[in-house]
């Protein structure tokens, strides 16, 4: 009997703190390039966030990659919920 070894890439949980420009860019870039990662966000006003962040690349050096889309797994104002 032969056993088959299956290698699985680990699923990472990422917590981003704050909702500024860097958070938006990070969520779009990390999420687009690593769709299996769970991205959680700590923000003061979680109710204003959508589950999808799009980074538009038109007229940038990343334009050939197309728009970058990342998905937020969970957003909360309480750190214990996202870390």
| CA gap 67, 15 in Å, rounded | 22
49: helix, strand or coil: coil
Q: What is the pLDDT of residues 34-53, one digit of tens each?
A: 999 999 999 999 999 999 99
Which residues, 6+ apart, have CB-to-CB distance to 30 below 8 Å? 14, 37, 39, 70
**pLDDT at site 8:** 64
Q: Comparing 8 with 72, which gets the higher pLDDT? A: 72
Provide the pLDDT for residue 40: 97
pTM of the model: 0.82
Q: How many CB atoms lie within 10 A of CB 54?
A: 15
pLDDT in tens, 11-39: 899 999 999 999 999 999 999 999 999 99
> What's 26's DSSP letter?
H
């Amino acid at each position: 009997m032969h056993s088959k070894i299956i290698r699985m890439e680990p699923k990472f949980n990422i917590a981003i703190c704050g909702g500024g420009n860097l958070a938006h860019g990070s969520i779009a870039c990390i999420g687009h390039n690593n769709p299996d990662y769970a991205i959680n966000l700590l923000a003061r006003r979680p109710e204003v966030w959508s589950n999808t962040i799009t980074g538009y690349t038109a007229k940038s050096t990343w334009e050939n990659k197309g728009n970058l889309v990342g998905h937020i797994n969970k957003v909360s104002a309480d750190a214990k919920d996202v870390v």
